Amino acid sequence: MAKGTRTYKSTKNQNPEMAQTIILIAILLALILVIGGALIFVIMSKGGIAVPPPAQVNKTNQSGPPIVIPQNGTAVNNTNATCDDRCHLAAAISGKIFSECSLVKDTALSQDCYLQLSNGSLDACKALSNETAKNACLMRFASAKNDSSLCNLLPDPLKSGCLALFNPCSSAPDKNLCQAINDRNPGKCANDFACIMNYSVTTGDASACGNLTETVKSKACSSATLLTDKCTDLTLDSEKNYCYELYAIYSDNPLTCTQINGDNVYSLDCVSYFAGKRKDLSICEKDSLSLNSLWACYINYSLISGDISGCAKIDPMATTNKFACSFAFAKKFGDPTACQLITDSLNQRSTCYQGVILYSNQNLDWTKCAGVVNIDWKNKCYVEAAKLRNDISICDNIESDNGRLGCRDSYETYKNSTAVQAP
Amino acid letter, 20: Q
Whether residue 70 is preceded by a cis peptide bond, meaning omega within 30 degrees of 0, is no
The residues facing 68 across adjacent strands are 76
**Considering the domain boundaries, does residue 376 fall inside one?**
no
pLDDT above 90: residue 315: yes
DSSP 423: -
- The residues, ordered by sequence, that sit 6+ positions from 211 with a Cβ below 8 Å of its Cβ are 186, 189, 191, 196
Query: Nearest Cα to 197, choosing from 264, 139, 243?
Result: 243
Q: Determine the structural domain holding residue 117 and report its residue range.
A: 85-166
The residues facing 76 across adjacent strands are 68
**Considering the domain boundaries, does residue 105 fall inside one?**
yes
125 and 138 Cβ atoms separated by less than 8 Å: yes
- Choice among 178-192, 280-294, 359-373 with the minimum mean pLDDT: 280-294
264 and 239 Cβ atoms separated by less than 8 Å: no
Q: Write down the pLDDT at residue 163.
A: 81
Query: Nearest Cα to 335, choosing from 358, 366, 303?
Result: 366
**Considering the domain boundaries, does residue 144 fall inside one?**
yes
**Cα separation, 26 vs 247, whole angstroms:** 139
The tally of domains found in the chain comes to 1
Average pLDDT of the chain to the nearest whole number: 84
Phi, psi of 67 (to 5 degrees): -110, 130
**Considering the domain boundaries, does residue 3 fall inside one?**
no
**Considering the domain boundaries, does residue 116 fall inside one?**
yes
Amino acid letter, 71: Q
94 and 113 Cβ atoms separated by less than 8 Å: no
Q: Write down the pLDDT at residue 372.
A: 98
pLDDT tens per residue, range 15-57: 555 555 555 555 655 555 555 554 444 444 444 444 344 444 3
**Considering the domain boundaries, does residue 257 fall inside one?**
no
Q: Write down the pLDDT at residue 146.
A: 87
**Considering the domain boundaries, does residue 125 fall inside one?**
yes
pLDDT above 50: residue 219: yes
Q: Note the pTM of the prediction, 2 decimals.
A: 0.65
Phi, psi of 76 (to 5 degrees): -125, 130
pLDDT tens per residue, range 50-108: 434 444 434 434 443 443 333 333 333 333 458 998 899 899 888 889 888 989 999 98
- Choice among 44-48, 136-140, 156-160 with the minimum mean pLDDT: 44-48
User: SS3 helix, strand, coil % of the chain, rounded to 5?
Assistant: 70, 0, 30
CA angle in degrees (0–180, nearest 5) for 413-414-415: 95
Q: Write down the pLDDT at residue 7.
A: 41
**Considering the domain boundaries, does residue 194 fall inside one?**
no
**Cα separation, 318 vs 313, whole angstroms:** 10
pLDDT tens per residue, range 239-289: 999 999 999 999 999 999 999 999 999 999 999 999 999 999 999 998 678
